[in-house]
């Protein structure tokens, strides 16, 4: 390269050096837990700089985005302080449409978690505390390798109480690899390389290899000693993804959709009564010995509408016990439809024996089945969305037909860039200008 003229303009030289420096210097991002604002020039650098980064693709006019923003502000410092930190960033996807198109953003807000540069849609809860827990799970390894007793305790503490935890002691490193990835969103998985007898006492296993299942929320624990082929391991994991006795609620019904076992359902008048609590202890014992069933319970007081679909009514026919297929049909055992107050343990045992022997009466649920109940849960929200959309469309057609002076109104937003599929159109004032396919809480 020819030497620069020593009489060259020093201001020009300074500008040239500054330009070259900016081309080779990576962006510097704050790591103090502040939500990072990205643009086209910094986006790729941020994805490459952080092992784990959650990106909020938003639009300034979107009402849902505005409500999500303070939740992300609250979650950001917590996630940034983790041992394996997750940083939060945001991108104005309405302004930087080429980037939005690249990542197939079709509604606002859309959250994507990038782990080592690979994006994954985030569709979990959006309140700060729940979002933090969910992101920690998604950003964690499929199976955490634990080196000592202390790391086991830290792992269990960090996992929290809401999801089941599976810890392998003395197992082969690849034994849980596939299943850890398959069930990552539903449970925590750890594999311990070195542990003491204290761990064996704490988690109540007397030999190894062993796979310990913990469900802190329900204070439940069980141990699997093999065989450690994938099919047997998966059976054990699936059986322990739910507590021994499942409280029937909207959320647990969603979990039951993925479980193919039939449900032994007990309907009581009030879940909180002492006699109901004692019955649940009996059911928990029965569930331990009959893992081919799911054992569930529901109180007429807690959710009478659902209980009544099984022809359960307040009074002498409770507690009622039946076997439900999770959909339209359920079965009662002839002569054991109701549990008497005395010796309920033997009654539950005889009920299960009678069911297995085929001494049953087939019944159909009254009114909504499991599927229609689930559809109704989602349907309420869907109906509201449809009503809002129809109202907005009517208003748009009215305004489009005639403005205040009788002339057609102009589009609220500029034309899209060539080759770009519209994300959503809305004026600055239309906070809820939100298309049907958009993401929302």
Positions marked catalytic = 62, 65
Instruction: Identify the burial level of 106 via C-beta atoms within 10 angstroms of its C-beta, where 0-12 means exposed, 13-18 middle and 19 or more buried.
Output: middle
Classify residue 5 by its DSSP letter.
P
- Asked whether the beta carbons of 92 and 60 are under 8 A apart, the reply is yes
For the record, the structure tokens of 302 come out as 């807690």
Burial-class residue 206 by CB neighbours within 10 Å (0-12, 13-18, 19+): exposed
Contact 87, 80 (CB under 8 A): yes
How many other CB atoms are found less than 10 A from the CB of residue 389?
A: 13
Half-sphere exposure of 366 (CA within 13 A, CB side): 10
CA pair distance 55, 87, nearest whole angstrom: 9
Q: Extract the tokens encoding 31.
A: 């790591």
CA distances from 304 to 123, 190, 298, 311, 314 (A): 31, 40, 9, 10, 9
Q: Return the half-sphere exposure (C-beta side, CA atoms, 13 A cut-off) of residue 196.
A: 6
What's the distance, CA 262 to chain centroid? Answer: 24
Residue in 217, 209, 228 with CA at minimum distance from that of residue 188:
217
* Distances from the Cα of 14 to the Cα of 5, 9, 21, 421, angstroms: 14, 9, 10, 42
Centre a 10 Å sphere on the Cβ of residue 291 and count the other Cβ atoms it contains: 16
Check the CA dihedral 317-321-327-329 and report its sign: negative
Q: Is the dihedral of CA 259, 265, 271, 273 positive or negative?
A: negative
φ, ψ of residue 167 to 5 degrees: the values are: -125, 120
From the list 129, 144, 138, the residue with the least C-alpha distance to 111 is 138
Tell me the β-bridge partners of 296.
Answer: 246, 265
Nearest CA-CA partner of 121 in 141, 106, 143: 106
Q: How far apart are CA 279 and CA 268, in angstroms?
A: 9
């Amino acid at each position: 390269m020819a030497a620069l003229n020593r009489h060259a303009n020093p201001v020009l030289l300074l500008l040239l050096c500054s330009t070259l420096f900016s081309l080779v210097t990576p962006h510097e991002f704050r790591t103090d837990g502040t939500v990072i604002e990205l643009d086209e020039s910094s986006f790729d650098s941020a994805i490459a700089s952080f092992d784990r980064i959650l990106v909020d693709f938003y639009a300034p006019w979107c009402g849902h985005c505005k409500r999500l923003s303070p939740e992300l502000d609250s979650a950001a410092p917590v996630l940034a302080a983790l041992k394996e930190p997750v940083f939060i960033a945001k991108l104005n996807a309405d302004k930087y449409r080429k980037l939005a198109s690249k990542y197939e953003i079709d509604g606002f807000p859309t959250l994507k978690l990038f782990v080592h540069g690979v994006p994954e849609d985030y569709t979990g809860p959006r309140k700060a505390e729940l979002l933090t827990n969910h992101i920690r799970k998604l950003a964690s390894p499929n199976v955490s390798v634990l080196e000592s007793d202390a790391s086991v305790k830290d792992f269990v503490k960090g996992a929290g109480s809401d999801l089941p935890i599976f810890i392998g002691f003395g197992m082969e490193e690849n034994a849980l690899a596939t299943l850890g990835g398959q069930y990552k969103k539903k449970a925590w998985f750890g594999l311990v390389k070195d542990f003491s007898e204290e761990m064996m006492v704490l988690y109540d296993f007397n030999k190894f290899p062993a796979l310990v299942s913990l469900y802190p929320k329900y204070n439940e624990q069980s141990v699997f000693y093999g065989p450690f082929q994938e099919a047997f391991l998966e059976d054990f994991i699936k059986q322990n993804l739910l507590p021994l006795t499942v409280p029937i609620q909207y959320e647990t019904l969603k979990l039951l959709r993925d479980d193919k076992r039939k449900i032994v359902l007990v309907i009581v008048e009030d879940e909180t009564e002492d006699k109901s609590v004692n019955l649940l202890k009996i059911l928990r014992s029965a569930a331990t010995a009959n893992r081919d069933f799911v054992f569930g319970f529901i109180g007429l007081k807690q959710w009478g509408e659902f209980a009544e679909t099984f022809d359960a009514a307040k009074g002498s026919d409770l507690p009622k016990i039946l076997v439900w297929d999770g959909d339209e049909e359920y079965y009662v055992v002839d002569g054991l439809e109701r549990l008497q107050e005395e010796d309920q343990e033997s009654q539950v045992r005889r009920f299960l024996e009678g069911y297995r022997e085929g001494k049953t009466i087939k019944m159909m649920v009254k009114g909504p089945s499991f599927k229609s109940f689930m559809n109704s849960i989602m349907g309420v929200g869907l109906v509201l969305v449809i009503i809002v959309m129809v109202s907005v469309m009517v208003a748009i057609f009215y305004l489009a037909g005639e403005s205040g002076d009788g002339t057609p109104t102009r589009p609220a937003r500029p034309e899209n860039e060539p080759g770009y599929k519209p994300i959503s159109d809305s004026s600055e004032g239309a906070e809820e200008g939100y298309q049907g396919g958009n993401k929302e809480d």
